[in-house]
Amino acid sequence: MDLNLLNTILNTHSVSGFENEMREEFLNYTKEFVDSTDVDKMGNAYASIARGTDSKIYLLEAHMDEIGFQVVYIDDNGYVYIRANGSVDAQCVPGSQVDIITSSGEYINGVIGKTPIHLLNSEERGKCQEISSLWIDTGLCKDQVVNKVSLGNPVAIRPNLLYLSENVISSKSLDNKIGVFIISQVLKRLSGVNEKSLDVHGVATVQEEVGHRGAYVCESKICPDLTISIDMDFATDVPNCQKTKYGDIALGRGVVIHRSIDNDIPLTYTLEKLAKELLKKHQVSARNMPVGGTNAFVLQQSQGGNKTISLGIPCRYMHTPVEMCDINDVKSAIDLIYKYIINN
């Protein structure tokens, strides 16, 4: 497992609609061992292994975009105002260090400021401030700001990857760069298989966080026999998270196999059986809702319907700058997907 790639992509920015950096990293990495790469009009990135003619067509999908912001206004003092791209947790935004990505590709560093707590009354202190009431302070004068920053420029949380232990990491945008990383590693392992016919397409999709927009496009391009969609899943091994409502999902206990209606249920049973035979750690979840929440429900319904499996990587603190996961769960997902494709 190439952790150098993981470190690299977690230090890229890929705000929804502005996934260029992440797309380039994915394609540059996979082109060394796949048979072809491609980019569609939506910006989805494809890395394909097509060897032989008698194989099922597999689509491995994970979205590469991350939650972030866009510039909406610059005031007379050069303070930059933003709105969210995706479901940003507003409580975690004040005090964040950010990069404004200019039209030329330059990064303008800044911090998201707010009124100091000392200057708020008791009622104001208890309220979560709306993102529209916050601002980015770049430390630059207005002329410097307006010469570099344009309305609509994307804004991303600055890279902050931290290894808390040998296997537990925290970073912005684990959701869902982890999924794209898993696809890259499955493809790399499959590229060394010569004795089996393969037709496998790894796709890093765009704009999931703003409405699953890339997923609508990629399924019709590939027309697979089976789609495996990988995303992060809610870890409930934290205080005040109701297991009776959300299930029992923990870091370090393996990949999560979903039994929601977005999944082909007989295939999920097959995956569970395979996971048990491999003695790999895995978890089962009905998910926190019957349908939706990931690209799987879009992929399942495209082109008259598709057999779809949704897999999750347990993640604490979803949609904050300090998402957390366990590398062992990532390994179990790579192993399970690889073995499933090889055995079928």
pLDDT tens-digit map of 304-324: 788 999 999 999 999 999 999
pLDDT of residue 200: 96
Domain boundaries, the chain: 3-66+172-343, 68-157
As a whole number of angstroms, the distance between CA 337 and CA 43 comes to 25
As a whole number of angstroms, the distance between CA 111 and CA 116 comes to 14
pTM of the model: 0.95
As a whole number of angstroms, the distance between CA 198 and CA 48 comes to 10
What is the tens place of the pLDDT at every residue in 176-224? 999 999 999 999 999 998 878 899 999 999 999 999 999 999 988 888 9
Is domain 68-157 in CATH 2.40.10.10, yes or no?
no
Q: With 90 as the cut, is the pLDDT of residue 303 above it? A: no
Q: Which of 153-162, 165-174, 265-274 has the weakest average pLDDT?
A: 265-274
Give φ, ψ of 85 to 5 degrees.
-110, 105
Mean pLDDT of 284-297: 86
Provide the CATH topology of domain 3-66+172-343. Answer: Aminopeptidase (3.40.630)
DSSP state of 239: T
**135: pLDDT confidence band, cut at 50, 70 and 90?**
very high
Mean pLDDT of 42-62: 91
Mean pLDDT of 54-59: 88
Q: Contact at 8 Å (CB) between 58 and 224?
A: yes
